[in-house]
Chains A and B, each alone.
Chain A
Amino acid sequence: MKQQTHPFWGTLGIVLVFYGMLIPALTMDWSMFIYEEIDRSLIEEDSGKLLVTAFAYISRNVLMFSMIFFGTLFLTRYFVKNSTTVRFQVVYAILSLMAVWALNFLYAEYYAYLPQLLTIGFILLFSTYLPRQRYFALTFLVLLILTTTSLQWLNLIPSLSHYGFGTNDLAVSLKAVDEFLTDHNLFSTIALVFFLIFFIIALIFTTLIHLFNKQIATLKLYQAQGKELQKTRNDLIESKVYQEMHTLVHDLKTPLVAIEGLLSLMEMKVKADDYKSKSYFSRINQSVVKMKEMISDILYEDIRKEIPAEELLDYVMSHLNTDDLPIDFEVRIEEAIPPLYVNKIRFSRAISNVLENSMIYLHDRGGKIKVDVTNQANRTCIRIEDNGPGIDQANLVHIWQEGFSTKNSSGIGLPFVKRVIESHSGSIEVSSEPGSYTITTITLPQHSRKEAIG
C-alpha cells in the first residue's frame, strides 16, 4: 500500500526517538527508585519487593523501547513510501538497531542487542498481518507494546543470561539479588510466565486483527457486488420499461390513424354552413396532429424542432403537480431568447426531473424555486435554483451515477437528464451549499448553431 511521505511523519519519528533516548535521563528518579528497591529487597531479604521492582524495571524499558521503535516506524515511513516492501523492513531494522546503539553510546547501561533484535523480528512478522488501513499506526503501537513487554521479560530469565539477554546494569542487579534470595527460582518462573502471557496476547491480537480485516474485506467485496447487481437490475428495468413504453407508444399510432381517417370522413359529411361543427373538427384534427408529433418525439430521439422557451416551460409546468404545495415558483425568461431547438418531450422530461428533485425536498418545509432563462454568449442558459437543504459535497460527485440516490429512489433521474442534455450538445452543472441552496445550470447551443447539434 502506498502511503504519503509527509514531513510530519519524519518530524514525529525524530521527536519520538529523541524522547525515547531521553527516557533514562528524564526518568532518573525512576531508575534510582529501581536501584534503591533492589538494594532494599536485598537488605530486607524480601523477594516480593524484588518482584515489584522487576515490574518497575520492565515498565521503564517498555516505555523507552516502545517510544524508540514507534519513532523509527514513522522515520522509516518517511524514507520508504511502501510499508509492505522488504526495503521498508530493512530500513526499519537498521534504524531501530542504530537507535539502540545510540542509547548504549549515550548511557553506559549496556542494553543487550539480542532481545531488541528479536523484538524487531517479531514486530515485523506480526505487522505483516496487520491491515494497512488508517488505524495501522495505532494497532502497530498496541502490538509493539505487547511484543516489547513480552520480550523484555526474557532479560530477567537467568538461564538466558548466557545467551546475551539481560546484560544491562539493572537486569544483572535484579538477577544477582534473585540468585541470592531465591536461587533464581523466582525470576525463572515469573519472567517465563509473563513472557508467555504477553507473547500469546500479541499472537491473539494479531490473529484477531487479521481475521477481522479479512471479514471487512469480504464484506466490502459483497457490498461492491451488491451495488453492481443493483446497477445491472436498474439497467434491466429501465431497458424493459423503455421497450414497453416504446411499444405502447408505437401502438398508439394505429388508433390515431383510424381516428384521423374517420374524422376526415365525418368532416366531409358536415354541412358547409355548420361552422361550429367544422371548428370542433378542426380543433380535434389539431390535437391529433399534436399527438402524432408527441409520439414521433418519443419514438425518435433525434427529432428536434424549434420551440420558444416560454412555451417549453409552460408545457413543463402544466405537467407538474404543484397544487396545494407550499412552494413558490418564479419563472423569468429574458427577452429576445431565440427558440430552443430540442426534442420537446424528452427535454421537457429532463427539466421536469430537475424540478421534481427540488420539489421533493421542499414538499414539507416549503420554499422557493426560481427558473431563469438567459442568453449567455450565443448559448441559452436555464438556471434552476431552490432554497432546499442542498447536497453534501461528498454526494455531489456521485449524483450522475446510475443507481445513486439519497432518497431510496431508482437513482436514474439525473443520469437521464444528463444524457438528454448532452444529446442536445448541451451541458449541465450542479452546485450546492448544504443547508442553503442547489443550483442546476443547463446550457444549450442556440438556434443559429443548430447545425452543430448531432
Chain B
Amino acid sequence: MKKYSIILLCFVISLIVIGHHSYQASGKTTYMYPNLPAPIGKEPVLITSAGQTVEGGIVHKLAQQLHLDAEYRPRALATDLYEYETLVIVAGYSYNGLLHKNRRLAQEKERIVELMKEAEAEQVPVVIFDLDVQYRDYEESWEFLTMTLPYADYFIGKEHEVPPQNLMGMIHDYKIKSTFVNEIEDMKTPFNSVFR
C-alpha cells in the first residue's frame, strides 16, 4: 500500500482541485446588470484586440452576422480611430497571438492606452468584450481589463463560474453598463443593442 501513497496523493490533490472548483461554482449566481436602455454606438465600428487573442476574430464574426459595418484591425492605432464611430475592444492576453503579430507586451499596452485616450478625446463610445478571461485568468489579461474598463461605456462578458470581485468592483466603480451571457452566441443580443 505504501508504494501507492504518492500516486494516491496525486489523485487526491486532483480531486480536491476539481472539488474546490465545483464547490465554488455551485449555488452562486452572478448579479447581472440590465442591457442598455438605448443604443450608444454608431457605425462604422472598429474592432480590435487588447492582448491579441483569437477571440477578436469571433467578435468580428458576430458583427458580420449582425450585418454591422465593422472592421477588425487587431493592430489598430489611435490614429486609425478617426474614421470610426464606435470602438470595440476584445480583452484577453495571448502569448502566441503577440508572437504572431510580432509585438511585445509593453508595445501592446502602449497601443491600447493610446487608443483609449484617443477614444475619450474623440468621445467615441467604447464597448469591452470578455469572451474567455475566466479561463485566460492571467495577470496580463487583468492588466488589459484594468487599462480599458475606465474608458468603457458598455461591458459584454461571459458569465463566470465565480464572479471575480475585481471585475465586478471595476464595473461598479466606473459605473459601466454590463451584460453577462452564458454563451458566445448569446452576445449577439447585447452587441446588437449597442447600435439598434
Contact = CB atoms under 8 A, between A and B. Distances in A.
B17 interface: yes
Given A90-B6, A120-B10, A124-B6, A183 B183 contact: yes
Contacts of A177: 54, 58
A167 B6 contact: no
B22 interface: yes
A121 B7 contact: yes
Interface string A149-171: 00000000000011110110110
Interface string A84-118: 11100110010000000000000111100010011
Contacts of A45: 61
Contacts of B132: 172, 175-176
B99 A179 contact: no
B150 interface: no
A93 B10 CA distance: 8
Most chain A CB within a 10 A radius of its CB, from B57, B138, B185: B57
B67 to A, nearest CB: 16
Interface stretch (B38-46, B90-98, B167-175): B90-98
B177 interface: no
B10 A117 contact: yes
A38 interface: yes
Contact of A35 (B25, B97, B137, B140): B97
B135 A38 contact: no
Given A86-B3, A121-B10, A176 B55 contact: yes
Interface string B74-94: 000000000000000000011
B184 interface: yes
Interface in B1-50: 2-7, 9-11, 13-14, 17-18, 21-22, 25
A419 B55 CA distance: 88
B131 interface: yes
Interface in B135-185: 135-138, 140, 161, 183-185
Contact of B14 (A28, A118, A170): A118
Nearest to A89: B6
A117 B94 contact: no
B10 A109 contact: no
A86 B96 CA distance: 39
B164 to A, nearest CB: 14
Interface residues of B, number: 40
A31 interface: yes
Contacts of A43: 57
Given A38-B54, A39-B57, A121 B11 contact: yes
B96 A34 contact: yes
B100 interface: yes
Interface string A27-39: 0100110111011
A169 B97 contact: yes
Nearest to B138: A110
Nearest to A36: B100
Contact of A114 (B5, B14, B25, B93): B14
Given A108-B138, A121-B7, A161-B135, A176 B96 contact: no
B50 to A, nearest CB: 15
A128 interface: yes
Nearest to A127: B7
Contact of B17 (A28, A34, A164): A164
A125 interface: yes
A8 interface: no
Most chain A CB within a 10 A radius of its CB, from B5, B21, B54, B131: B54
A308 to B, nearest CB: 70
B25 A162 contact: yes
Contact of A109 (B3, B13, B53, B96): B96
A84 B3 CA distance: 8
A229 B2 CA distance: 38
Interface string A163-193: 1101101101101110110010000000000
Contacts of B61: 42, 45, 180
Contacts of B135: 161, 166-167, 172, 175
* Across the A-B interface, the 6 shortest Cβ-Cβ residue pairs: A121-B10, A89-B6, A163-B18, A173-B54, A35-B96, A125-B7
Given A108-B140, A162-B161, 12 more contacts: A42-B54, A42-B61, A45-B61, A93-B9, A108-B95, A110-B95, A114-B17, A164-B18, A164-B21, A169-B93, A173-B54, A177-B54
8 contacts: A42-B54, A108-B93, A114-B17, A118-B10, A125-B4, A162-B25, A162-B161, A169-B53
